[in-house]
A = this chain, B = another copy of it.
């Protein structure tokens, strides 16, 4: 899945400008996909060249003109083929866990700070997901599922953080032994 596919995905649901596509990824897609303006605008230009999307200019009062993109029939076919050929994979990269691997090399107070910050991040993420799922009535089944999925993971991790943070700090102190202050 690259930025072109992400754009086609949004456009298969509704017409949108590049700016609105970016917003969609900050709002409803942010917990499992991300992209940036620097990737979206060139992608839309390429898709237009390839005839997979088209656009019309929309003048606005007191706002810059918009390019509103629509997916073409060819684009819809291409997107469906992409979906059919895509494996259900996931990738997870965590600087937090990398830091924890080296916790014994860090000042214990710093590790405590990291654990608190990570707990806060999980709380914040959960609040966002809970808000979306309760505020939006018109969610498609698929959309609701992605939110439940995010909530399940974040809730389990938050529970773990609350249960294991203090014991981890104690274990690290023991490992460091009597040389620690």
Interface positions of A (Cβ within 8 A of B): 1, 6, 9, 12, 29, 31-34, 80, 83-84, 86-106, 110, 114, 117-118, 121, 140-143, 145-146, 148-149, 152-153, 155-157, 159-160, 164, 168, 171-172, 175
Report the Cα distance A121→B88, complex, angstroms: 9
Main secondary structure of the interface of A (DSSP, over half): helix
Q: Is the Cβ of A100 less than 8 Å from the Cβ of B145?
A: yes
A91 to B92, CA, bound (A): 6
Given contacts A104-B141, A105-B83, A153-B156, contact A118 B32 (CB under 8 A): no
Given A95-B1, A159-B152, are A100 and B164 neighbors across the interface (CB < 8 Å)? no
* A168 B140 Cβ-Cβ under 8 A: no
Question: Would A142 and B104 count as touching, CB distance under 8 A?
Answer: yes
* CB within 8 Å for A142 and B102 given contacts A88-B117, A156-B152, A157-B149: yes
A12-B105, A86-B98 given. 5 additional CB < 8 A pairs? A33-B98, A83-B105, A89-B96, A90-B96, A145-B164
Q: Is the CB of A96 within 8 A of B88?
A: yes
Beta-carbon contact of A101 and B149 below 8 Å: no
Given contact pairs A84-B110, A152-B159, A160-B148, A92 touches B95 in the complex (Cβ within 8 A): no
